[in-house]
Each structure stands twice: as C-alpha cells, then as structure tokens.
Structure 1
Amino acid sequence: MRRHRFAFSALPLVASLLLAGCINLTPELQRPALPVPATLPGGADPSAPLALPAWHDLVRDDRLRQVVERALAANRDLRVAMLQVERSRAQLRITDADFLPTVSGALQYERAPNSSGVQATTVTGGLAVSSYELDLFGRIRSNSDAANATLLATEAGGRAARLSLVTQVISAWLTLAADEEQLTLARQTLASREDTLKLTSLRAQVGAASDLDLRAAQSLAAQAKATLAQYQRLRNQDETALNLAVGAALPANLLPGPAPLSTAATVANTATLATGEWLADVPGAASSELLLARPDLIQAEQALRSANANIGAARAAYFPKILLSGSFGGVSDSLSNLFDSATKAWTFTAQAALTLFDAGRNQANVKVAEVNRDIAVAQYEKAVQTAFKEAADALNGQSEWHRQVEAQQLFLDAERERTRLTRMKLDAGAASLLELQDAERTRAAAEQALVQYRLSELLNRVALYKALGGEERASEQTASAAK
C-alpha cells in the first residue's frame, strides 16, 4: 500500500511536468551562407523564377522518350534509391513509437504447493507497461527530428537519383547516336578511299601515277579501315552501357540511327546530330540561390539538420531519465474466474535515473555529435560549391559550344567545296592525286569533328538541365521553408 500512496502522490508531479512540455536541447540551426558568388554567368534576371521543362518536354525524339521511360521502370539503382526511402520512412515510425507507451498483455498459469503443502493453482492475467520514458528533456523528440530529416534527405536523394538516371540515359543515347553517325561517315570514307585506291592502281599500271601516289592511297584506305573498326567498337560499348543504364536490352527500333523503311520515319528519326533538333532549349539562371532547389543540395541540407538534431539527443543524456511502468490485471485460482470474480491487482512505478560517473562518455558523445554536425556543414558547403561549378560551366559552355558548331560547319562547307574543286582540277589534269587525297582527308576529319562538337553541345545542354535541378527541383515554397 505504501507503493500505491507514493504513486498517487507522484501523479500530480508527473502531470505538471508533462503539461510544462519537454526541454529542447537541440541547438538552433541556421542555413550556412552560400560559399559561392551571388550570381551565375549567363546574364539572366536574378529575380526571375527558373522554369525548367519536364524531361519528356526536353526530349524531342519519341524513341528516346520510350527509352527513358523504360529506364525509370527497370533501373536497379533507382529501385534501390526508392527502397531506401521506404526504409527511412519505416525507421521514422520506429523512432516515433517511443512517444507512446508499449502496452503488452500477459497470461500466466502457475501450479505449486502453498505454505500448507497443498497444491494450489494461481492464474494471473492483465496488461502491463514497462519502461515508458517521459520525454522531459527532448531526447525522443531530437531522435524523431533526426529521423525525419533523414527521411527528407533520403527522399531528396531518390529525386536526385531519378534526375541522374534521366540525364545519364539521354547522354548515353545521344552518344550512341553520334557513334552511329561516325560509323556512317567512316563507311563512306572507306568506300571513297577504296575507289580512289582502285583508280590509283589502274593509273599506276599504265604509268599515270607514281609509286608514291599508290602507297599514299593504300595508307589512306588502311587508315579508313582502322577508323571504321574503332567506331564500331565504341558503338558496341555505348550500346552495352545504354542497356545497363536502362536495365534491359533495348529493341532495335528504339536505338538511334536511320528509321526502318517499314516504319513512318519522323523528322527527328531521320535527322542527324548536326541538323536535327533533338533537345529543347534549357533556360539559364542568374541567382546562385536558385541552385538550393536542386535535390542533392536539399539532401545535403537535411543531412545537416539530422546531424544537428543528434546533438540534442546527446545532450539529453546529461539529465535524468524518467521511466514509468505499471500493470493492471486480475489474480484467480482458476482460469474461468479470472475475468469475473478475480482479485484485481495493479502496480505503478516511477523511476528517475541520472548518470553520476561514466568516465566522460556523455561528454564524448556530445563532442562526436557536434563534430558530425560540423562535418555535415562542410559537406553541405562543398555540395553548394560543386553545384555552382557545374551550373557555371554548363552556362558558359551553352553559347561557346554553339559558336564552335557554327564555325565547324563553315569549315566543313569550305572543305567540301575544296574537295569538289580539287577533283575537277584532277580530272582536268591541273591537280595531283595527292592534293585530292589531302582534301578528302581534311573533309572527312571535319565531318567527324562536326558530329563530335554537336554531341558536345547537346551533352552540355543535358548537363545544364541536371545542374539546375531539372524537373526534380523543389518548389520555391518548399525551398524557402527550409531556410
């Protein structure tokens, strides 16, 4: 009975502590200042919102859209990222379960001799609460905040993985398209040089060409064969990489290249990298703060918030831990009377435990949590700097690659005309075969370079889309709420 009186006398104290609320020992966290310039290169209006197209609006080729959709459905890395989100969500539920007591039911049957030596039966049944902690100093709240921030970070990581997969597949498909065009050019070059070799051999037989002309033609034909083998190898490797990114082997009708004759070829399917509009334009940004909506930066910021909340949980170990336990049930000499005429019994226990000596363990735990927070700050700042560099490089390259493609196109047009004129002079006997071979070699190199420059321009556009966050950007309301 003394224990019962103590329990009743402790109830007002416990109730007052609960009404007063718990103490928050987590330090206030302010988003670190951006360790980058306030504006990005590009000349856009810093106050204007950044409206990026969705990925299916960015892509203008129907086949590529289908490839990306397949990758989003079958890629294993993205599947792992989504499962990690589910795991973090379940972990948060586990952590939040500590806010409420765990109630268990028990039924115990015991038969043993009593003090008189007579066999007696005792049946005990009821409900029990063991070691329910009153969160007076915010340990459970801090753990919940840390788990919630971890969930938000994992969700942002899932969006970052999705954006990375979309841009990876687009880049891989465009690279494969460039290899297909390079293969076509290599085959055309080889056919042209083999024709030149045949012509040179015939002329050498009648004394109209020198041995030097013949060896030069043989050299250029062999070089064309080596180039063709090189691009065939690169094309096969890029197709394997694309299939790996997608997560399944792609059918031939979804691979880049000329459309089959049996299908209705669209303009995009028959265009080349140098002439086709494969991707929509990506608008530029000026304010560096617009990068904060990138999913990877949100992930880094939430990881920082989780580390900061762990400091509050570590500090709570300095204070007493209040544990409540109790039970309510009945005791009877038979199971049939347990819930009818059984003797009711209950207990209530409140326990306060305070660590008096732990050889500095609690202090070290707080220090570890603070260092982890400082590490998370440095990682967040590094992520911001990396994002700024990626966006700045892509914005700088946006206009430069376009000018380089235009200049290369002019160079190619000039070399094609030079080749035509040289061939006419050769037919008229006013030019040598070596001059024609030199013109053809320069023209072929210019054609290959134009494909490569156009590919680089498109890949830079994809990189800009990713650097600005793509369609996975958080809304402005969500981004500002985290400040």
Structure 2
Amino acid sequence: MKRYSLIAIAAATLAAGCSFQPRYERPAAPVAAAFPASGVYATQPTTSAGDTAAGRAAVDIGWREFFADPRLQQIIQIALENNRDLRVSVLNVDAARAQYRVTRAQLFPAINAQGSKQVQRVPADLSPSGQTISQEYQAGFNASWEIDFWGRIRSLKDQALEKYLATAQARKAAEISLVSQVAQQYLQMLAVDDLLKITDDTLKTAEASYSLTKLQFENGTGSELDLRQAETIVEQARANRAAQARARAQAENALVLLIGEPLPDDLPPGRSLEDQRLLTDIPAGLPSDLLTRRPDIMQAEATLRAANANIGAARAAFFPRISLTSSVGSASPTLGGLFKAGSAAWTFAPQITLPIFEGGQNLANLDLANVQKRIEIANYEKAIQSAFREVADGLAARSTYDEQIRSLERTTFAQSRTLDLSQLRYKNGVDSYLQVLTAQTNLYSVQQSLVNARVARLDSLVSLYVALGGGWIANTGDTPRPADAPAMVGAASAPVGASAASKTNG
C-alpha cells in the first residue's frame, strides 16, 4: 500500500516541480499567549533616569549599554576574541557550510579530464590478426550527471542548508551565552570580594572581643565559658575566610578559562557589586517574539526544516534515478597517433535505475525520516517552552528581589545595632557573653544573605536579558551581524557567507 500511495504522491507532485518534500508548517507555540502579569509579577522595578531601557527590546540593546562597568566590558571583549569554545562553534559553522556546498555540487555535472593506457594479451587462436598483445591509448573528458527529476538531490541540498543555518544559530547562541557567563562569573567574583570584606570585619571584631574576654578570664573576672564562646566565633570566621579565599581564587580561574587568557594588568577600574547598574526595565513583549529573538529556537526550527527536507529525499528514493555518462576525446593504439586525424572517439551512456527489491530499506528510511521529523517537532516545542519558562522566571525575580534586598538592608541595620547594644550590656554586666555571640552570629549571617541576594538579583537580570534575546550586538544602534559572522566583526569586514541568500546562491 505504501508503494501505491507514493506513486500517487509522485503523480501529484510532477506538476508542482517534482519535489516530494512535505509542505512545511510551523508548529503552534505550546505556551500561553502572554507572560504572567499578576500576583508576584505585578511589581515593576524602579529605575533612575540614566539607567533605563527606554522601551527598547533586549535584542536592540547592546551589551556595552546593559553592562555599564568598564572593567566588565573589556573582559567580555577579550572573551569574545579568545574563548576556545566559541572558536569551535565558529569552526562548526565553517564545516556545515562546506558540507552544504558538497551536497549542492551534486546538482551539477561532474567533468573530468582523463588519460589512460590499456595493454591486453589474448591467445593467438582468439586474435583475428594473430597478435597476442594489443595496447590502446585514450585521452579526453568524461562527464556524468544525475538528472534530479524527483528532487532527491534538491531535498538533500535543502537538508544540508537547514543544518548549516541551524549550526549558525547555535554559534550565535554560544556567543550570547558566553557574554552572560562572563558577566555572571565576574559578578560572582565581586560577591566573594564583598564576603571576604564582611568576614575580615567580623574577624577583626571577634578577635577584639576574644582579647577582652581572655584578659578578663586571666584576671579572674570572666568565665571560661565566655572565653570559649569568643574563641568559637573567631575560629568560625577564620574557617569561613579560608573557604572564601579559595572560592575567590577558583572564581578567577573560571573567569580566566572563559576569556581564554590571564586577566590583564591594565584593566580599567571596575564598579563594586552594589554599584552595578544593569537595565531592569527591559520590556518582555509577547511569547511569540521569542521565535525571532532566541537563536536556540531558530536553531530548533532550522533542524525541524532539515528533517522535513529529508522526508523528500526518502520519498524520492522509491523512484528511478536517471543519470547520463559520456566521454569525448581521442583513442589510438600508439601514443604518437593519439591526437592525429581520425582518432576521435566518444561514448554516450544514459542509465536509468529503478528499485525493485531492497529488503525494505527504502520503506525503513522513509519511516525513519518521518519519526525524526516528529522528534524535531517535539524538540522545537520544548525549546519554546523552555524559553517561556526562563523569561517568566526572570520576570518573577525582577519583581521580588528589590523588596527582598531592602528588607535585608533593614535587617542588617537592626542586627548591627543589636550587636552594639549587646556589647554595651555585656561590658556593664547586664547580659552574658552569649548575647554578644548571638548578635555577632546573626549580623554575620544577614550580611552574607544580603550579598548573596544582591548577586542573585544581578544574575537574574543578566539571565532575563539573554532570555529575551539580548547580548548579540555590542552597542545599541549597531546593525546585527548574521548568525554565522565572527565575533567582533566591524562593518568594514564582510563575513564569508553573510546571509542565507548568499548560502543559497553561492
């Protein structure tokens, strides 16, 4: 039955250009028509006059404007020039482009120059002339061409093109991801620096308290319990400092790996974690905008188109292949007579191959192509759902972190006053040292929570910027580069294969 249905498909498609590719239809987006806007999402972030997106979409905001820290800007630029993973993604694009050209070349005749010598011996009783050894020289041109009557090669060419475009989008996604990874790792370094400062201040205060309680204990006016409690917070602070120093070194190592070289000594001064001014009011737009903003979604759709084209090639395999082979040149029994008058020779050999029995291979290939398309539909829909979730998570974070940080700042102030009052009451003999120890521990804990909340807020803003498609252009107002263009390419240098049209035509 499948053979008869394919013959019917063939008859229907002959008048339509002899292509067996199914008509491509973009699957419907399996997400809500709008991002959440009520409840936790309703609170909008506040911005200063100079730190606003001014209604521009993320794709139109350059990362140099989004990240105002000049030190971070230079580090990102170094990463785009040196990151090895990004280099691999660029080379993958080159490989996919070359593979497309290899497949496309099969549409055209292959012409070769050829020269040959043939020596043959036959028994004397089989030779009309009585000569047992004969030789023949040939020189000329050979040509072969498969007439793509059913669109098999065109379908394979379309598949290779879509795979190339998918690889280019993957390379674009890799660059955007690198920008965000460098920024988040840099912010993490700043956060560890702040934690180290807090720990140093806590350790300094704890050591002063320990010295006082030790003196009181040695003079008989203090208890060993107070001494050991003071010693506990000192040692805890020292242990935390060692762990944070290790985390600081490892964070810098991770950043060095991302940028592909050691941090230069001539980097400009940077901003503190608290002074980072990221744009918080980038409009989210509609979920449908993600289809044209997100390179990972465009990559998934290009892969789906490639699977759709592969079905055309699998269908065409059921029908005859028509090929033409010919040669023209000169033939002679002697090398000297190869190009003399009368030595011209030519052949013309058209061939048609019709599959009759292949053990079900063609049917299995068609079934496989259809299954692969359904797989890519599911991957495409999942890419949209993942993008929707990332944006929704970013909007929820943007709406809540500011209030959380303000609350932690007020708590930090309250705990700082509590420590001052506890120390005063302890010195006056009103409270035990346990109250001081508790106040120190609580203040240290809330200070660390405040730093972690600040860096988490900045991380979420970076993630939202990228989730909305930002991070591809360096400066606001730049013309976006094609997806296959090298990083940091200026307007004066045109990338090889700068647009989909150039891939198709050249």
Report the TM-score when normalising by structure 1. Answer: 0.85
Q: CA deviation at 1:180?
A: 1.3
Structure 2 residue 178 is the aligned partner of structure 1 residue 165: yes
> What does the per-residue CA deviation read over 1:34-71, in whole Å, with 9 as the maximum and x for residues that have no partner?
11111113579xxx873442222221222212221222
Deviates most, 308-317 or 407-416: 407-416
Which residue does the alignment assign to 1:124? 138
Query: For the structure 1 residues 51 and 190, does the alpha-carbon distance in structure 2 shift closer, same or farther, using more than 3 Å as the test?
Result: closer
Report if the CA contact (8 A) 1:25-1:313 is conserved: yes
Give the structure 2 partner of residue 284 of structure 1: 283
Is the aligned partner of 1:40 residue 2:45?
no
Q: CA deviation at 1:438?
A: 2.5
Distance 1:405 1:354 in 2: 73
Identity, in percent, stands at: 38
User: CA, structure 1 residues 173+49, in 2 after alignment: closer, same or farther (shift >3 Å)?
Assistant: closer
| Cα separation, 1, equivalents of 2:308 and 2:120 | 56
Q: For 1:238, give the aligned amino acid.
A: A
Give matches, 1:369-388, under 5 Å. Answer: 369-388=369-388
Q: Which amino acid in 1 is paired with 2:228?
A: R
Q: Distance in 2 between the 1:49 and 1:226 partners?
A: 47
Cα distance in 1 for partners of 2:68, 2:433 equals 44
| Cα-to-partner distance string for 1:234-281 (whole Å, 9 max, x where unaligned) | 222222222222222324665xxxxxxxxxx85xx3x532x3025333
Q: 1:77 aligns with which of 59, 81, 85?
A: 85
Q: Which residue of 2 aligns with 1:194?
A: 207
Q: Specify the alignment match of 2:3 in structure 1.
A: none
SS of residue matched to 1:24: coil
SS of equivalent to 2:471: helix
Equivalent-residue separation in structure 2 for 1:21 and 1:332 (angstroms):
49
Q: Distance in 2 between matches of 1:300 and 1:240?
A: 33
Structure 2 counterpart of 1:156: 169
Pairwise CA distance, 1:174: 0.9
Matched, 1:174 2:187: yes
AA at the equivalent of 1:69: Q
Q: What 5-or-longer segments of structure 1 have no aligned partner? A: 1-18, 255-264
Contact 1:322–1:350 (CA<8 Å) still a contact in 2?
Answer: yes
Distance 1:40 1:120 in 2: 84
TM-score of the pair, normalised by structure 2:
0.81
CA distance in 2, matches of 1:145, 1:335: 47
Residue of structure 2 aligned with 1:140, choices 139, 142, 153 = 153
- Asked if structure 2 preserves the Cα contact closer than 8 Å seen for 1:21 and 1:136, the reply is no
Matched, 1:63 2:71: yes
Q: Residues 390-443 of structure 1, C-alpha deviation per residue, up to 9 Å, x if partnerless?
A: 111011111211111111111112222333344444555555443333322222
In 1, distance between residues paired with 2:176 and 2:58?
Answer: 16
In structure 1, what residue type is equivalent to 2:388? Answer: F
Q: What code does the residue aligned with 1:175 have?
A: Q
| Cα distance in 2 for residues equivalent to 1:122 and 1:142 | 42
CA contact 1:41–1:286 (8 Å) conserved in 2: no
The CA deviation at 1:338 is 3.7
Q: Which amino acid aligns with 1:285?
A: A
- Work out whether 1:306 is the aligned partner of 2:306: yes
- Deviation for aligned residue 1:120: 6.8
Map 1:125-274 to 2 at 5 A.
125-130=139-144, 132-251=145-264, 254=267, 266=269, 269=270, 271-273=271-273
1:317 alignment counterpart: 317
1:326 alignment partner, SS class: strand
The answer to which of 152-161 and 420-429 deviates more is 420-429
The 8 Å contact of residues 56 and 283 in structure 2, kept in 1 or not, is answered as no
Partner of 2:434 in structure 1? 434
Report deviation, 1:116: 5.0
Stretch deviating more after TM superposition (185-194 or 56-65): 56-65
Q: Which residue of 2 aligns with 1:26?
A: 21
Which amino acid is the alignment partner of residue 438 of structure 1? T
Contact 1:394 1:463 in 2 (8 A): yes
Higher mean alpha-carbon deviation, 79-88 vs 115-124, is at 115-124
- The answer to whether the 8 Å contact 1:123/1:331 transfers is yes
Q: CA deviation at 1:342?
A: 4.2
Gaps of 5+ in 2: 1-13, 45-54, 122-126, 474-478, 484-499, 501-506
The CA deviation string for residues 166-212 of structure 1, in whole angstroms up to 9 with x for no partner, is 11111111111111111111111111101110011112233332222
Q: Which has the higher helix share?
A: 1
C-alpha contact (below 8 Å) 1:324/1:350 kept by paired residues: yes
Aligned pair in 2 of structure 1 residues 458, 164: CA closer, same or farther (>3 Å)?
same
Alignment CA distance shift 1:360-1:49 (3 Å): farther
**Residue in structure 2 matched with residue 6 of structure 1 by the alignment:** none
How far apart, CA to CA, are the structure 2 residues paired with 1:179 and 1:471?
25
Partner of 1:447, secondary structure, is: helix
Q: Distance in 1 between matches of 2:193 and 2:332?
A: 86
